[in-house]
Structure 1
């Protein structure tokens, strides 16, 4: 399970060092792709395969499912961390997420998200006011 917030830097070759707490799970290989709100989603290969299985059940006749699948799978890139635990973020994904030097990497349960730090701070500030009410609306009975 992935959780926590980290602030690595993107190097001049478009690589990021994976947070130490994520390395064991991510070291066998990852799949990164476009995420929602202009971040990147990072999955273990196994989790991405499970994700694929769920999406493959969606009917081809559903326009929303087709669109979502196109965006997720056309942007997907399988990557392997190097010996220094760095992973290259492809140029098209760096552009999509507006990634420059300062990154915020967060754990979100079954996936990791990579954000431009300014975009993350803006997103977080915009969510703070409604955070207290979200749990009741999204996950009834949780708290």
Structure 2
């Protein structure tokens, strides 16, 4: 559904414009509603889920037994801090200050379309991630058969 990388500017009020290439898709598929959550696996990144996809993720995460620390941590970062947002008339969304601060998003960010969701990266974290390369030790069994 979503694919591509876009440099984004965040204004002084914490708003960012969803790229015009995605606006119609977000309006049609998501009724202009997204849900922001922390990325529990990477520093410097937020997830932006379409509302329907978010409901599926939320329900599966909440179904995990909260007696395990890793489950509680996942529930805290994904469900506990989730914030619904809606595109305004100018195609912008407001990213809460607490979320921006926690992941280091200031004026510049990078929005990645990752299929079923967006990832919103601080510019610094995105550059650091892109500069990393995979070594043979990083390859999983599933990756070995990929034809890239």
Tell me, yes or no, if structure 1 residue 97 matches structure 2 residue 103.
yes
> Taking structure 1 as the reference length, what is the TM-score of the superposition?
0.88
Residue of structure 2 equivalent to 1:142 = 146
Q: Which runs of 5+ in 1 are unaligned?
A: none
Aligned to 1:68: 74
- More helix per residue: 1
The question of whether the paired residues in 2 share the 8 Å contact of 1:135 and 1:142 is answered with no
**Distance apart, 1:24 and its partner CA:** 2.7
The total of aligned residue pairs comes to 141
Q: What stretches of structure 2 of length at least 5 have no aligned partner?
A: none
Contact kept? 2:36, 2:84, Cα under 8 Å: yes
Q: Secondary structure at the match of 1:37?
A: coil
Matches within 5 A, 1:119-138: 119-126=125-132, 129-130=133-134, 137-138=141-142
Structure-2 residue corresponding to 1:12: 12
Give the aligned partner of residue 117 of structure 1: 123
Q: Which moved more, 1:52-61 or 1:98-107?
A: 52-61
The two structures have a TM-score, normalised by structure 2, of: 0.85
